[in-house]
Amino acid sequence: MQALVKTAPGKGNMELQDVPVPVPQAGEVLVEVVRSGVCGTELLVHDDLYRGRNRPMPFPLIVGHEASGLVVELGPGTTGPRPRTRVALEGVSGCGACFHCLRGSYNLCQDWHHIGLTRAGALAEFVTVPVSSLVLLPDEVSLESAAMLEPFSNAVHTLERLRPAPGQPAAIIGPGPLGLLNLQVLRAAGAAPLVVLGRQGDESRLELARTLGADVAVVADRKAAQERVAELTDGIGMAIVVEAGGTSEAVQTALDIVAGNGSLVTLGLARSTEIDALTVVRKNLTWLGVVAAVRRHYAEAIRLVRSGKVELERLITHRMPLADAEAAVPTMRSGDAVKIMFAPGA
């Protein structure tokens, strides 16, 4: 089968290869991948910037963790859904025994497995996953939407932690896939006005943000963002700020524009950033981090897709056969792409 493989550590070393179809072990299921998306994590893996938890990335590694497909076959002695059942794949699985796993927070397990990071991923024609990682789909959820449930569940998790009140102003910094997914859930939750801030080169993503319901979607540096937000909120600032830009400036801008008593979420993967920590005190802020998602977020994500309140497919800007998978990284970097969706069976 064809698969996109990170062959070795170091920058690059990612290529389309012909590899054997995996065989499901006990507790696992073989899934035929129908749709498989790419996100910023694959860029980090490509550039050798991804740093996992305790468990190292194995090489060679098939990448990809946002996927949907059809059940093919269960491992020996394993019970699970019948062949041809439509499924999405949950990215994270925990050890099942640590403090966080026992509490159901296996997104915090230090010994986690993550498809496409610690075990073979889904930018391939077939993938094996633990049966417990299958998410069964109602008929109304297409396999294309289902391939986006993994990142969307993270946005649902963010919403769960933010609990916005209707009519609270919210800003999203960074109009990438995660930013636009957060825009859609915040809109469904009634936050308003919704402001999306981007950088030079984000123009087409900002245009998409407007069609998805952003009241204001503009290119703005730190100073322009502060001015625009002051103007929109009578100088008060945004009750909610979601930082999905992943840059140092995005984090700084978020702190600048969040209102007193506001909530700030950092989702971007910026590392060291110079901030005035006193701002957190002076503004009486709630600063949240959100990592991955667990099963209840998938359930809620499916409910939202089913209700029509969010339209995940509208984020797909590129559709490609898996044979073109090596183009994923340069296309992602181009700024024109929001979500690139591969059709491995095609």
The H-assigned helical ranges of the chain are 40-46, 99-102, 143-146, 149-162, 177-188, 203-211, 222-232, 248-257, 278-282, 295-307, 328-333
Only one of the segments 34-42, 206-214, 220-228, 335-343 lies at the binding site for Zn ion (rule: CB under 5 A); that segment is 34-42
CB of 325 to Zn ion, least distance (A): 15
- Kindly report the three-state secondary structure assignment for every residue of 222-281: HHHHHHHHHHHCCCCCEEEEEECCCCHHHHHHHHHHEEEEEEEEECCCCCCCCCCCHHHH
Please tell me whether residue 70 binds Zn ion under the rule CB under 5 A.
Answer: no
Q: How far is CA 217 from CA 147, 199, 294, in A?
A: 26, 11, 31
Please tell me whether residue 109 binds Zn ion under the rule CB under 5 A.
Answer: yes
Size of the site for Zn ion (CB under 5 A): 8
CB of 107 to Zn ion, least distance (A): 10
Backbone dihedral angles phi then psi of residue 243, each to the nearest 5 degrees: -95, 110
Q: Name the DSSP class of 22.
A: P
Nearer to Zn ion, 39 or 170 (CB): 39
CB of 324 to Zn ion, least distance (A): 19
CB of 53 to Zn ion, least distance (A): 10
Among 98, 131, 270, 280, binds Zn ion (CB under 5 A): 98
Only one of the segments 88-96, 188-196, 228-236, 261-269 lies at the binding site for Zn ion (rule: CB under 5 A); that segment is 88-96
The answer to whether residues 28 and 77 touch, using CB atoms and an 8 Å cutoff, is no
Nearer to Zn ion, 239 or 329 (CB): 329
**Residue 15 forms beta bridges with which residues?**
5
Residue type, 223: K
Site mask for Zn ion (CB under 5 A), range 178-207, x = bound: ------------------------------
Only one of the segments 96-104, 263-271, 323-331, 338-346 lies at the binding site for Zn ion (rule: CB under 5 A); that segment is 96-104
Please tell me whether residue 269 binds Zn ion under the rule CB under 5 A.
Answer: no
Among 61, 71, 92, 101, binds Zn ion (CB under 5 A): 101
Nearer to Zn ion, 128 or 153 (CB): 153
User: Within the chain, what is the greatest distance between any pair of CA atoms?
Assistant: 64
**Residue 321 forms beta bridges with which residues?**
343
In 3D, which of 148, 178, 177, 65 has the Cα closest to residue 114? 65
Please tell me whether residue 94 binds Zn ion under the rule CB under 5 A.
Answer: yes
Sign of the CA dihedral with 17 first, then 52, 250, and 309 last: positive
Please tell me whether residue 122 binds Zn ion under the rule CB under 5 A.
Answer: no
Q: Which residues in the 134-153 window bind Zn ion by CB under 5 A?
A: 151
Nearer to Zn ion, 108 or 236 (CB): 108
Terminal Cα-to-Cα distance of the chain (whole angstroms): 12
Only one of the segments 99-107, 124-132, 205-213, 316-324 lies at the binding site for Zn ion (rule: CB under 5 A); that segment is 99-107
Nearer to Zn ion, 61 or 232 (CB): 61
Please tell me whether residue 292 binds Zn ion under the rule CB under 5 A.
Answer: no
Among 21, 70, 72, 95, binds Zn ion (CB under 5 A): 95
The answer to whether residues 183 and 209 touch, using CB atoms and an 8 Å cutoff, is yes
Show the tokens assigned to 331: 């296309």
Please tell me whether residue 39 binds Zn ion under the rule CB under 5 A.
Answer: yes
Contact residues: Zn ion, CB under 5 A: 39, 41, 94-95, 98, 101, 109, 151
